[in-house]
A and B are shown apart, each in its own frame.
Chain A
Amino acid sequence: MWKTIIRRVLIMIPQLFILSLLIFILAKQMPGDPFTGLITPETDPNVLEEMRIKAGFYDPWYVQYYNWIANAAQGDFGQSYTYKKPVADIIGARGLNTLLLSLLSVILVYLIAIPLGVLAGRYQESFLDKSIVLYSFISYAIPTFVLSLIFVYVFGYRLMWFPTSGTVDISLDAGTWEYYWSRFYHLLLPAITYALLGTTGIIQYLRTEIIDAKTMDYVKTARSKGIPMKKVYSRHIFRNSLLPIAAFLGFTITGLLSGSIFIETVFGYQGMGKLFIDSILSRDYSVITALVMLFGFLALLGSLLSDIILSIVDPRIRID
């Protein structure tokens, strides 16, 4: 098992290499350069030129690429031009916020999706099933930012049940109980919004899986043993359908990262998603490239995680 995991991790190296090359090429294609934002009518073109030379702007692309990669490998993604701080520090602080939001969202997604998927599959074609399927389609069709905006407006501004922006009430001292509660409170609405929209995949998968499982021969065998239908469901149909869901975890986390871009922006939540949008708007290249690289890395990690979980829950999939 460890061997396979190590092999999979090693395969990630060329994947990351290709990813980094793509990111680099795309970043190069973006209009303007990091200094464009600094240009004012008074800017001395010679000074600007000097800065460009100093930053390696005119080096051959492979030299630039090499420098970038070599530094990145050491955790140095350069300076952010907007924040005037090392990129790694900025991402680090935001990363924790996104991680917390993602974790809560994943938990809520599973809490909502599993019962709904199970009910829909169990009572296939019933009114309940049809309602759940309808919900899953609607939630799939609604763009994240639309629902986010509605929720911020309704529950934040109108009903004032939830804070409308930020990650914590800044008047509170870090470390106090109130402080942690406030952090959680700030997480809640974005997480609920995300969870409500993020359940489609799991509901649909679980529903089909259960409907398929019902027709399986092993279910007939179970019935031929004379065990009550309730037990046939819980011990055979549900169990067999739920195990693969565990493997969704990896992908769900990956999906959350991209979802967080909209959620965090609308909710003014200081996470990596919002950082990403902000950096694009301010053309903070070093932050953008670092974030894309990180998202790519997490996506690969997510799929590895999924494979590992699947091999643990399904005895047929042996990795040795």
Chain B
Amino acid sequence: MSTNTNELLEIRNLRTSFRIKDTYYPAVDNVSLTLRKNEILAIVGESGCGKSTLATSIVGLHNSINTKVEGEILYNNQNLVNLTDTQFNKLRGNDIGFIFQDPLSALNPLMRIGEQIEEGLVYHTKLNKTQRENRVLELLDQVGIPNVQRVAKQFPHQLSGGMRQRVMIAIALSGKPAIIIADEPTTALDVTIQAQILDLLKTLQDEIQSGIILITHDLGVVAEVADRVAVMYAGEVIEEASVVELFRNPKHPYTRSLLKSIPQTNSENEQLEVIQGMVPSLVKLPRQGCRFSSRIPWIPQSAHEENPELHEVAPGHLVRCTCWKEFHFEDEEGSVNQ
């Protein structure tokens, strides 16, 4: 774990709710996280647990008509939750870069690559046209794209998936951001390409020293590049620790089931195979008591905390609930705590 205590971004009690038929349902519920300089913070969890919602809340990319964001997201002494769109535009693409999951749909199909990278520079830099064009080539080169002159004039469909994701990264980098948020940047890519993109992210991070929030549902990815991990379940963080600590000493039953499922997770089947069942939908999610208990019915009711809180079990290692002390997998006997 990084000993650097330079805090870049501090999320406190963030709650992001979507309106469904006149009622707001939190998809991110009371999440507190800290991103430090020069660190890769991974956020892991199954599909639907609120990872993307968390990411878009940070940069204000949600649809304000049906979304409510509460809590604090502190960056540079300002609370991002209260920013207007115009204020956000100063941060987006400049202080905070964003990388999306599917580079094919995330790039405008009718716009040349060079133009798409240059666009942000128009608003965040004072460079003139020629300088911007040179900067575009520089960025393309930085993300390991060959033939930069030609690629800049091409359209997204003319590039391979890996190249497109490199372009996305170039866009995210263009404002020399302090923070990069990558929402499943490798999920849409082939295995070999995934590794290259992860390497690139890691290398770039060493170069530019920014903090990266890496969203993924692949613990293999986490082990490879992240410094710290937050595991999310149904909108909540249920465990947070350094990567080494989490892999060596996982506490929460959900984390343990995730880890247990790694060997079975072959790279083609991206979905995590965890404990039976799935994240309940927003409307059906139990808001009282423990959100996970329904998926481990063999644990006696008495073992669950009524309203599980995050407890610090070791320095920097937070776990929601206490019943992990009694937890065991269904096919195991009695209380196991390695």
Contact = CB atoms under 8 A, between A and B. Distances in A.
B106 A226 contact: no
Given A221-B168, A315-B110, A226 B94 contact: yes
B211 interface: no
A316 B61 contact: no
How many A residues touch the partner, as a band?
20 to 34
A229 interface: yes
A226 B88 contact: yes
B171 A226 contact: no
A218 B92 contact: no
A210 to B, nearest CB: 14
Contacts of B92: 223-226
B120 A225 contact: yes
B108 interface: yes
B59 A221 contact: no
Interface string B104-117: 01111111000010
A236 B102 CA distance: 18
A225 to B, nearest CB: 4
Given A240-B110, A315-B157, A227 B100 contact: no
B110 A314 contact: yes
A226 B120 contact: yes
A88 to B, nearest CB: 43
Interface in A201-242: 216-218, 220-229, 235-236, 239-240
Contacts of B59: 224
Contact of B123 (A226, A229, A316): A226
A222 B123 contact: no
Contact of B93 (A224, A229, A240): A224
B299 interface: no
B155 A222 contact: no
A234 to B, nearest CB: 12
A217 B106 contact: yes
Main secondary structure of the interface of B (DSSP, over half): helix
Contacts of B91: 226
A225 B171 contact: yes
Contacts of B175: 226
A226 B124 contact: yes
Contacts, number: 79
B110 A235 contact: no
Contacts of A243: 110
Contacts of B94: 226
Contact of A316 (B90, B109, B171): B109
A123 to B, nearest CB: 13
Contacts of B190: none
Nearest to B89: A226
A316 B119 contact: no
Contact of A315 (B93, B116, B124, B155): B155
B86 interface: yes
Nearest to B86: A228
Contacts of A235: 111, 119
Contacts of A229: 85
B105 A227 contact: no
A220 B106 contact: yes
A239 B172 CA distance: 23
Interface string A290-320: 0000000000000000000000001110000
A238 B175 CA distance: 25
B167 to A, nearest CB: 10
Contacts of A227: 89, 93, 119-120, 122-123
B89 A224 contact: no
B18 interface: no
Given A225-B92, A225-B171, A217 B100 contact: yes
A225 B117 CA distance: 9
A223 B108 contact: no
Given A228-B89, A315-B110, A315-B155, A222 B119 contact: yes
7 contacts: A218-B106, A218-B109, A220-B106, A222-B108, A229-B85, A315-B157, A316-B157
Interface of B: 59, 61, 85-86, 88-94, 97-98, 100, 102, 105-111, 116, 119-120, 122-124, 155, 157, 168, 171-172, 174-175
Given A223-B61, A226-B175, 6 more contacts: A221-B108, A224-B61, A224-B172, A226-B120, A226-B123, A235-B119
